A and B are shown apart, each in its own frame.
Chain A
Amino acid sequence: MSSLLKLSQVEAHIGQFHILHDISFEVPKGEVTVLLGRNGAGKTTTLRTIMGLNPVYRGSITYNGEQITNLKPHLIANKGIGYVPEDQGVFEDLTVGENLRVAMKREDESTTERLEWILELFPDLKKFWKKPSGQLSGGQKQMLAIARAYVNENDLLLIDEPSKGLAPIVVEKVMETILQMKEKTTIVLVEQNFMMASKIGDQFYIIDDGQTVHNGLMGELREDKALMKKYLGVS
């Protein structure tokens, strides 16, 4: 299967700190690639670097065969990459509806259809359409952040820890949604919740100390207890 996104020996800094030392991975079209690793390993920085929010110091990033290394974030987004950040990043003073409208680059049949689909999955968003998103619960904000990234016809979604800080019942809902989105979009998922990651993911990459140290199919990882203990602290 052809790869939609490819990172080759990517290095990145945040300020004076060298965070990513050697990140290389490929994301096949139509699959969910999960980035795993302990806290502070560089997973979030990897997603931010793909989005152009952190500059690439060395290495290259290609998307659909095209170089996107160090392009400006809005140009990368306009190539069809959606991003759901770790902190959800909803615009708290805007209503739910306005948040979604800001995200929709155009309002045509396709985006309206996608909006209706996502509102069916997250009825709370429809219910609180006119409510400022700052007044939503953590779970509802997460739903809004995912809906906002999905509402455009993006070919690739980068989702950063969607289960973080959410109640188990909300995590279930988020997981169900991502599973349904998987049928329509390629996804790169950063997730600490291994149960969720293993249910959604097709392939994985383990990041440790800013380097990709291991990769394979998700099914293989489930069987490899030693690897899970070594890099993820899961037994």
Chain B
Amino acid sequence: MVLILRNMTKSNLIYLGIAALLLFLPMIITGSTKFMITQIFVFAIFAMSYDLLLGYTGIISFGHAMFFGIGAYSTAIFMDHFDSSLIALFIAILVAVLFAALVSFIVGMLTLRLKTHFYAMLTLAFAGLFLVAAEKMRWLTRGNDGFTIKAPEILRDSTTIYIISLISLVLIFFGLRRLTNSPFGRVLVAIRENEHRTESLGYNVLHYKVLVTVISGVVASLAGVLYILSLRFVNTGVFGTDLTIDVLLMTIIGGVGTLVGPIIGAALIELAHDWISGLANVHWIFERWLILYGIVYILMVIFFPLGIVGTIREKFSGRKKSKNNAKQKAS
């Protein structure tokens, strides 16, 4: 254990430290705050999955909620139709992951050999298809009314769900970090920057792009699974465009291509969501939170195109550079 910690980078130790602090947070917070932080963990996972696509590979998806919805509905349907045992949950997760992988593979293979905007349009179409299907197949999904599920006994406590979501977030964060810092991750960045150039270095760009959409889809479906376990209710809203817009905002506000950024973005958007909903009786505009998000999005793109983490990193590296220049001049 000591050896593992010694081999860790400074930033990894900081992240682990924050995670350790968050682990003990349920001891001092109330139930509603605990629920909100759990939601932040869930959406942070979802936003990281989107960052892998947009931030690292430059692929824009307008229907990413579809994978989240697949995870949520697979779990909910299994829990509803079978017993609410851990085995049923395990099978539900497996089905969610496999189904999300299959759908992302098909969408990727159909469109990724073309320009990126075809992928964006097809994901939008597919997400719409899933939404309509979920609304029409009422016998299975109960449409927009939705239904509540019974979680396995062990997962009914909110603290347990909080801890499971936190652990999942930490594991997925470090897993994706490892992936993006690996040779595979470097190829993804190369693809984002110049597809033709990457191809003429000998990389089959399509394989990489399809693989990354599958990984991203699977991670998003896991977020959907956790969402349903924390909320214990599902309706067709999980396939909605609003959710994709939310995750896009989380990624852009936090900082694309950073992984940490989407976590911060998820926290900000979820907190803002909660705060703005509370102001609904002050003025009608607060009910239309999408308008406010639109304004925030425009301001972010104009003034902080790199997002929060990206801007901080740039400032930090700028300061470091000027310090180095000063040192060089002094010597």
Contact = CB atoms under 8 A, between A and B. Distances in A.
A and B part of one assembly: yes
B315 interface: no
B190 interface: yes
| Residue of A77, A85, A102 contacting most chain B CB atoms (<10 Å) | A102
A89 B186 CA distance: 15
Interface in B182-211: 183, 186-187, 189-190, 192-194, 196-205
A155 interface: no
A78 B190 CA distance: 17
B194 A74 contact: no
Given A89-B194, A91-B194, A101-B183, A74 B199 contact: yes
Nearest to B321: A135
A121 interface: no
B193 A73 contact: no
B186 A98 contact: yes
A94 B56 CA distance: 11
Contact of A72 (B193, B198, B204): B204
A85 B195 CA distance: 13
Interface residues of A, number: 23
Contacts of A136: none
Given A101-B183, A102-B183, A77 B190 contact: no
Given A91-B193, A93-B193, A53 B200 contact: yes
| Residue of A92, A101, A103, A105 contacting most chain B CB atoms (<10 Å) | A103
Contact of A77 (B186, B194, B201): B201
Contacts of A51: 200
Interface string A87-108: 0010111100010011101000
Contacts of A53: 196, 199-200
A92 B193 contact: yes
Contact of B199 (A77, A93, A102, A152): A77
Given A91-B193, A91-B197, A74 B204 contact: yes
A144 to B, nearest CB: 12
Contact of A78 (B193, B197, B198, B202): B202
B197 A89 contact: yes
B201 A148 contact: yes
Nearest to B203: A74
A85 B189 contact: no
Given A73-B196, A74-B199, A101-B183, A91 B204 contact: no
A150 interface: no
Interface in B247-284: 257
Nearest to A78: B202
A120 B189 CA distance: 27
Given A89-B194, A93-B193, A73 B186 contact: no
Nearest to A88: B197
Given A72-B204, A77-B200, A77-B201, 17 more contacts: A52-B200, A53-B199, A74-B199, A74-B203, A74-B205, A77-B199, A85-B200, A89-B194, A89-B196, A91-B189, A91-B190, A91-B194, A91-B197, A93-B189, A93-B257, A94-B189, A102-B187
Interface of B: 183, 186-187, 189-190, 192-194, 196-205, 257
16 contacts: A52-B200, A72-B204, A74-B200, A74-B201, A74-B203, A74-B204, A83-B200, A85-B197, A89-B194, A93-B189, A94-B186, A94-B193, A98-B186, A102-B190, A103-B201, A148-B201
